[in-house]
Structures are given as structure tokens and as C-alpha cells.
Structure 1
Amino acid sequence: MVAFPNAKINLGLYITEKRSDGYHNLESVFVPVGWSDVLEILPASETSFRSTGLPIPGETSTNLCLRAYEQLRKDFDLPPVRIHLHKVVPIGAGLGGGSSDAAFTLKVLNTLFDLKLSTEALEAYARPLGSDCAFFIRNEAKFCVGKGDEFSEIMLNLAGKSILLVYPDLHSSTAEAYAGIRPRPAQAQWTQVLQQPLHTWQASITNDFEQSLFPKYPQLAQIKRQLYEAGAAYASMSGSGSTVYGIFEGEVPEALFPQLTTWQGKL
């Protein structure tokens, strides 16, 4: 069975407090985008995992896809499977690619073996795998709080808008991004700005991580500036970086950032 785990972007990202468990609470709106990996899972005589495409750091045994499989195997006595992940979405890019791979593994296994798990049950299995994982179970725009794994509905209409994601081949670690953050309450009801015309967002909707990473990596600020110069109605860094995106009312201009890794599509 084949699936296409997609990326997400953050509309606004505010680090509101440090938790006693070492994590941070945040407020953000997560929005799925079409930049995707390719995931194939088939029954096999023994369990195996291999990846192609972009190299994945770390030991194979700790890969999130295998960890997701183990989550279900121990509860449902699943048979062995062969997992093949073709990695396309950049790693350490603020796009939730690894989290998406894990969530889609759960969803594929649920279908492949007819486990009949509800959406809520799949989210419960996804949460221990990573802060963003549960979002990709429903895979639709949500207002996210807590570690990014508690969701509520959000009124958001981006239909017909175009988006360009720019990855500058720069891996920013989460620890590095958090090092310059001072948690603070988000502006009250900031999500109401998302109901206003797109071009008004840039004055009010921000990503706290830009404050810590832009001074250290001026290239990121330059990309954001170039997106506005090219006509983006709104531009921001996604997650803890380093992807920067621009949302356009019309089509994305051609030949932007020819030396960098980019993806563009419709929202």
C-alpha cells in the first residue's frame, strides 16, 4: 500500500511558556501543504525498513516509521512488514516531515490490516512519537496549543492561494532555535487576524523563532524579504526553520530562488 505523507506550515508560532517536562507550550495554526514523501508498506516474511531519496540521519532502528509500526504491533500482534520511505521533504526544515511519515505509517497500517482504529485512537498512538505527529492524522488546518498536539477548529479560507516554500539547505536544530526564545503569552485572540485579508497578516502574524534564528542566519531574513519583493502577500519561516514560505494571491512568479530547493503549489 502506498501513501504520500505531506508537509505542513505554521501560520503564526508563539512560544508561550516552558513546561515542567522540558517541553514548551505554544500557539500556532498548522496548515497542510502538498510537498510529500512516498511511503510504501507491504506484508513481508520479516520486518525491514529502507529509505531512498534524501538521506535520513540516525540509526534505522530509531526511525519514526518503525517506531509507529512497533506501537501497533505490540497491541495488535501485527505480522512483519516491509517499509520503504522515499524521502523528499527536507529534514530539519520546520515542515514536520518526519512526524508526517510516522502518522501516515499508523494510518496505512490501520487500513492494511483492517484494525478499525478511530481517528481519536490513531491520534493517541501518534502523540508519543512526536509533538507534530497527531496533527497529520486528520491532516487539516487546526489551531494548535500545548506541545502542538492539542487541536481546535479554526476558520481559515486559503482556497485558490498559491504558496512557495524555500529551503536554503540549512539544518536548524530545535534546541538551537529555542536557545534564543523567551516564552511570553501570545497576543490575545491573534487568530482573528487570520479572518482578515491576507495582506494584513504581515503586521500581526509572526513566528517567535525568527527572532532567534534571523540574526544568526541572515540568509533566512533575506529570503523572506525577497518573497515580499516578489509579490507575496504574506511570508514567514515555518516551525523552528529553516524553510521560509510566501503565500501569493495569484500565481507564484517564475524563476525565484533557482539555486535553492523549492516547492510550490496551491493551498
Structure 2
Amino acid sequence: MPLDPLTLRPLAPSETATYLAPAKVNLGLSVRGLRTDGYHELHSVMVPLVVGDELEIAAADTLTLRVEGAALPTDERNLVYRAARAYLDAAGVSGGATITLRKRLPLASGLGGGSSDAATTLMALARLFPAPVNLPALALTLGADVPFFLLGQAALAQGIGDVLTPLPVPQVPLVLVNPGVEVSARDAYAWLDEEEAFTPPLDVEGLLAALTAQHELPTFNALQGPVAARHAPIQAALAALLTAGLRSPLMSGSGATCFALAASDAQAHAAAQALQAQHPAWWVVATRTL
């Protein structure tokens, strides 16, 4: 999981550290409406997972980024690079850093990979180059989801996703399935706007109680209907998770990754193996919440 720079000793400039940039799922996502500033008012339960991308970071004379596992740019078009540049400038660091990003998560998948990579970069550089920088404020300039990943725990996200209230979500095993579809968050929200299919707040207390009791979750994803209607593979993924004996299948974020809860780690791993065998082209992972 991301390391909190405020509770750890500073790294020596010669040290290289490796960090997990955790994925997230939305255990529920309500889109309350469109704001006057063009953003959407959200009410979502976001939970980090023990699976994610990997970042290796060390001090250097200049800022350089290398990406493994995906064909992504390595300059200011990359959110990790922008996060690093933003922190180094805010901290007044004259040097830079060598960063290697190892992509383990699918791209444009609703798992928050890019936002988590950016937040982890900020925390890693704050540990490497300690300075009185307001990380949450800096994170928000990079994206609405980035501040969530500074928390390192589940939270109720409101506003545009930047008003965060930590939640006591129990550790839960689950299975992630991505059917190989990339979904633009911009498109997902535009489709919702076309239908004006805005939704009421989530039943957060009911959701937490259902997680503890291993019951079906009283939840929904407001984006799931508009997105799944345009991407049949997402419908297939949700159906496959249910057929595999898992509960409460749901699309995460703007998709295309879907997930469902398991009663145990053993059930999650068995279901993931079965799903991978049935759908070899899909990305399937058994994991759990942090």
C-alpha cells in the first residue's frame, strides 16, 4: 500500500524504494446531478485493494520516467510525470527523480490506476524530499480521484470526489474482471447526462452492515446502465461473476472492470481460476480490500 511520508523516516538520496499504487473499486457510486461548474456531484464508497501498479523511485539529477507493461507516454502527458514535476517544483527541489512505472492494471478500467500512480508518486517524493507541501491540495490539481489515494483506506467520497470521510470497511475478498474494453470516464458521464439518470444518495450504513454480515449489498453504480448498454462485454462480465457464485456484481467507476464479493479468499481464487479458464482473453484477478 502507499507509504505515509509523515510516519516514515526520510529516505537517503541514494536509496531506491518500490511502492504499490493500489487499485480501488467503488462499492457504490451515485451521481447526484450536474454542477454549475461542469463537474458532477458524487456520493460514492471507494475502497483500495491489495492489487495495483508498481512504482520504483530514486533521486536523480533530472526527472525521468520509464513505463513497463503499457504503451504510455513518459513526458508531461503522463500523470505520474506531472505529479512528480508538481511536487518537485512545490518543494523547491533542484534535482529530480528516476521513476519506473510498472503497469499491472488495465488502462481506462475504472480502477483508478492513473490517479493512484499519481498519489503514490507524490507520497514517495515527499518521503524522499521532505518539505512543507500540502499534498491533498496538490493532489486535487492532478485529478478529482487523486486525493482519495493519499488516505490509504476506504472512504465516502462526496463533492466531485474530493470531500472524503474515512469509513470502517472490513477486509473483503473479491474478484475483478475486465473484459478487454476501455471506457472513457468523460463518455460515461456524458451518456448519463443524456439520460438525466441521476440517482439518490447511497445507503452507506446499510452497505457497511451488509459487508459485515456477508449479505447482498444494497448498492448501485449510476454509470453502469448507460455504459453497459453500449458495451455488451460488460454485461457478459457481470453475468459471469454471478454465475461463478459470487455476490453483488457491480461495475467499478466508469468501467469496464467489474467485481463481485466472495465469502472467502479460497472462493475468490477458485472463482477467478474458473472465470479465466472460461474467458482466457479477460483480465481476471482474485484480491481483497485493504
Work out whether the TM-score is over 0.5.
Answer: yes
SS in 2 for 1:220: helix
Match of 1:9 among 25, 47, 71: 25
Write out per-residue CA displacement over residues 71-104 of structure 1, whole angstroms, 9 at most, x where no aligned residue. Answer: 2222222122111111111110000000001000
Whether the 8 Å CA contact 1:8–1:95 is kept in 2: the answer is yes
After superposition, the C-alpha distances for 1:48-71 in whole angstroms (9 at most, x for unaligned) are 111111222x56222111111222
Offset at residue 5 of structure 1 (A): 0.6
Secondary structure in 2 matching 1:264:
strand
Who is 2:222 aligned against?
208
Residue number in structure 2 paired with 1:178: 189
Q: Could you tell me which amino acid in structure 2 is paired with residue 142 of structure 1?
A: A
> Alignment RMSD, CA only?
1.7
Change (3 A) 1:163 1:200: closer
Does residue 76 of the first structure (1) align with residue 95 of the second (2)? no
User: Is contact 1:52–1:87 with CA below 8 Å preserved after alignment?
Assistant: yes
Say if 1:155 and 1:133 are closer, same or farther in 2 by CA, change over 3 A: same
Q: Is the 8 A contact 1:198 1:234 kept in 2?
A: no
Structure 2 residue 287 is matched with structure 1 residue 265 = yes
Note the 1:148-187 alignment, pairs <5 A: 148-157=161-170, 159=171, 161-181=172-192, 182=196, 184-187=198-201
Unaligned runs of 5+ in 2: 1-16
Q: Report whether the alignment pairs 1:247 with 2:253.
A: no
- Distance of 2:216 and 2:103 partners within structure 1: 35
1:11-160 → structure 2 map (5 Å cutoff): 11-56=27-72, 60-78=75-93, 79-115=95-131, 121-157=134-170, 159=171
What secondary structure sits across from 1:7 in the alignment?
A: strand
TM-score when normalising by structure 1: 0.91
- Normalised by the length of structure 2, the TM-score is 0.84
- Partner of 1:94, secondary structure, is coil
Q: CA deviation at 1:178?
A: 1.4
CA contact (8 A) 1:180 1:211 kept: no
CA distance in 2, matches of 1:39, 1:59: 14
Equivalent residues of 1:100, 1:133 under 8 A apart: yes
Poorly superposed stretches of 4+, deviation over 4 Å: none
- Structure 2 match to 1:235: 249
AA partner of residue 262 (structure 1): V
Structure 1: where are the runs of 5+ without partners?
none
State whether residues 252 and 258 of structure 2, in contact with CA within 8 Å, keep that contact through their aligned partners in structure 1.
Answer: yes
> Take 1:219 and 1:84, find their aligned partners in 2: how far apart are those partners?
32
Do the aligned partners of 2:47 and 2:154 also contact (CA within 8 Å) in 1? yes
Identity score, percent: 31
Query: What is the CA-CA distance between 1:11 and the residue it aligns to?
Result: 0.7
Amino acid at match of 1:200: E
Q: Give the superposition deviation at 1:173.
A: 0.7
Number of corresponding residues: 258
Q: Do the aligned partners of 1:13 and 1:208 also contact (CA within 8 Å) in 2? A: yes
Listed one character per residue, the Cα deviations across residues 116-157 of structure 1 (whole Å, up to 9, x for unaligned) are 65xxx2211111101110000012000011111111132422
